[in-house]
Amino acid sequence: MRVGLIGYPVTGKSTLYRAAARGLAKGEVTAVVVPDARFDAIVAQVRPKKATPATVILCDDLESVQGSGKAFSPRLLESARKADLLLHVVRAFDNPVAPYHTSVAPLRDQESLDVELVLNDLQIVENRLERLHKSMAVRSPGSPEYAEKALFERIQSPLGSGTALRAQELSEDDWTIVRNYQFLSGKPMVVAFNVPEAEAASPSAELVARCEALRKIGAPAFCACATLEEEIAMLDAADQPEFLASLGLSEPASAKVIRAVYDALGLITFFTAGDNETRAWPLRRGSRALKAAGTVHTDIARGFIRAEVVHYADYAACGSLDAAYSAGKMSLEGKEYVVRDGDLLHIRNKS
């Protein structure tokens, strides 16, 4: 999972990046471990030779959006299109050197950047439709060009009205076409309002309301003070809980970012537990056992026979996989089994 941080200049984008990377950032790209107490408990019990947690790749290589209708730079577009998700960092603190807007207006800035993404996509759609109208193949129902023209004409008007692709009702076939163009407003979005230290534990009512409104349309949002969070990230892990509590905070920014990314992408985690390696795997919610097998290895999916499944709650109650098996808590499932968050899987396959 590749998360690209995006925002206007002087929003604290790089500061939040360093905070979310837990002080481990080296360069513009960092792999951040997904915190999961379930995985830690499995590793402690199994004691494998190798433990591989799930990770999220944070990328701070996107140039700042200049605003005022200026076209996105080629570098920004290239980096943004590589991302699976965009994390929009919005300035909600006063800064006299901020070059984009002189006043602090986070709701305005959050909307403005979303409009910039939509306008970029609208330009692509209009340019493509202009070329399609000149194509002979577009006149043949059933041709790829015909389907593309019909889709682009359908999404053109909502884009013109400011509706991002992620908020439009598109079928899987539609998304197959859309992904060929890497539209930016079609990417999942997380919004982080960068608040002053005084509001770290108690953001304004309008920001809390906007976060809730964004969550309802599938764009998880949260508030954090990036400069404060960077200080927290530099502390020893053992010292962080007490310092967080003294500030009235329940968790660091890294946890907020990871949870929001998982929510926006619709991800769950399943586990494979073995003596050689125990590993946590991200998976799209609603995915079936065959998809999980392919996530582990394509050869395992090809030779799929059955999935041995133990739900994490049963594993935790029994204390080990062996005990869960002995207690009859393992079920044999076929390819169509829908994997649940926290499942421990062992795939029987033709090797």
Which residue ranges make up each domain of the chain? 2-264, 286-349
How large is the average pLDDT for residues 109-136? 92
- State the amino acid at position 198 in one-letter form: A
Sequence length of the chain is: 351
pLDDT-derived band at 99, boundaries 50, 70, 90: low
What is the per-residue pLDDT for 69? 60
3-state helix, strand and coil shares in percent for the chain, rounded to the nearest 5: 45, 20, 35
What is the per-residue pLDDT for 23? 81
What residues contact 163, with CB distance under 8 A and at least 6 apart? 118
Q: Residue 60 above 80 pLDDT?
A: yes
User: What pLDDT digit, counting tens, does each position of 206-256 carry?
Assistant: 999 999 999 998 899 999 999 999 999 999 988 999 999 999 999 999 999
What is the per-residue pLDDT for 52? 97
Find the range with the poorest average confidence among 105-114, 130-139, 159-168, 257-266.
130-139
Choose the CATH number for 286-349 among 3.30.420.40, 3.10.20.30, 3.40.47.10, 3.40.1280.10: 3.10.20.30
Nearest C-alpha neighbor of 149 from the set 113, 174, 115:
174
pLDDT-derived band at 25, boundaries 50, 70, 90: confident
How large is the average pLDDT for residues 262-267? 94
CA atoms within 13 A of residue 283's CA, in its CB half-sphere: 27
How large is the average pLDDT for residues 268-293? 97
How large is the average pLDDT for residues 332-338? 97
What is the distance between the alpha carbons of residues 322 and 324, in angstroms, rounded to a whole number? 5
Nearest C-alpha neighbor of 28 from the set 88, 84, 79:
79
Q: How many CB atoms lie under 10 A from the CB of residue 179?
A: 11
Indicate the average pLDDT of the chain.
92
Q: Do residues 153 and 129 make contact, with C-beta atoms less than 8 angstroms apart? A: yes
Q: Residue 101 above 60 pLDDT?
A: no
What is the distance between the alpha carbons of residues 36 and 258, in angstroms, rounded to a whole number? 11
What is the per-residue pLDDT for 163? 92
What is the per-residue pLDDT for 95? 75
Find the range with the poorest average confidence among 95-109, 120-134, 215-229.
95-109
Q: Which CATH superfamily includes the segment(s) 2-264?
A: P-loop containing nucleotide triphosphate hydrolases (3.40.50.300)
What residues contact 317, with CB distance under 8 A and at least 6 apart? none
pLDDT-derived band at 40, boundaries 50, 70, 90: very high
For the chain, what percent of residues have pLDDT higher than 90? 80
What is the per-residue pLDDT for 73? 83
How large is the average pLDDT for residues 110-130? 93
What is the per-residue pLDDT for 297? 95
pLDDT-derived band at 199, boundaries 50, 70, 90: very high
Lateral strand order in the sheet of 331-333:
50-52, 277-284, 267-273, 344-349, 304-310, 331-333
What is the per-residue pLDDT for 102? 63
pLDDT-derived band at 97, boundaries 50, 70, 90: low
Return the structure tokens found at 146.
């015909």
What is the per-residue pLDDT for 249? 92
